Amino acid sequence: MNSVVRSRVGVLQAVGSILFTVWMFGLAIVMGVICLPLLLGARRPALKAIRQWSRWVLGGLNLTSDIQVEIRGVENLPDGPCLVAAKHQGMLDILPPFSYLDDPAIILKRELMAIPIFGWFSKKAGMIPINREGAAKTLRGMVVAASEAVSEGRQVVIFPEGTRREPGAEPDYQSGVAGLYRELGVPCVPVATNSGLFWPARGLIRWPGVAVVEILPPIPPGLKRAEFMRRLQTAVETASGRLLTE
């Protein structure tokens, strides 16, 4: 979508974007209050509440901003636990895993866990907080938590670049994903997206279109570090680049 088209629809999209923001945060507050008793029980009901919230958020995104989310390649997901390494272009990328994964354990920056309601339910549902400044200590803690999740048959989700990247920006894959791949000993599923075209990392405005999440064929466990990183980055960046031009 070029800048000329965007300038023409900016006013309409601003209204829709404001309505969506109110919907997303208002829904979190209402559901969070109603579902507070779930924080006293088992992990799975809290995860179910997050899953339902994400579905309604995506529904609201479609209604207010004319953004549809298309998930491709679900057949590429292996049975049992795996490591999911996903391209990260904006907040939208946090939501689809709750649709296509049975029991995701998403690796999040620790600051998000301090947000009332969101943080409470994320912690209860078994998401994995990390301190991005912690270096080796962070990696050790992440491996321990991810190993526990895998032992429970869960899917560990990591954004290997560590932060949101603009669509088409030069990739910057961090070493943490290689450490997890080595220690977990499970297949790694690359995931590509073009979500940043429609829900940018910065700014209020969201743009109409089809945000695609493409699940790619898994990388088998046991590869050498350099070969794994090469295959992961090539798969994700090639597919994400293709999606940007569709």
What domains sit in the chain, N to C, each tagged with a CATH number? 3-244 (3.40.1130)
Its pTM surpasses 0.75: yes
Instruction: Extract the residue ranges of the chain whose pLDDT is less than 70.
Output: 1-10, 132-137
| pLDDT tens readout for residues 43-54 | 999 999 999 999
| Confidence at residue 114, expressed as pLDDT on a 0 to 100 scale | 81
Q: Are 101 and 107 in contact (CB under 8 A)?
A: no
| Confidence at residue 136, expressed as pLDDT on a 0 to 100 scale | 66
| Confidence at residue 40, expressed as pLDDT on a 0 to 100 scale | 95
Burial label, 9 (beta-carbon count in 10 A; 0-12, 13-18, 19+): middle
Burial label, 183 (beta-carbon count in 10 A; 0-12, 13-18, 19+): middle
Strand order in the sheet with 128-130: 67-72, 209-215, 188-193, 82-86, 155-158, 104-109, 128-130
- Give the rounded distance of the alpha carbon of 46 from its chain centre: 18
| pLDDT tens readout for residues 8-21 | 556 778 899 999 99
| pLDDT tens readout for residues 20-59 | 999 999 999 999 999 999 999 999 999 999 999 999 999 9
| Confidence at residue 145, expressed as pLDDT on a 0 to 100 scale | 94
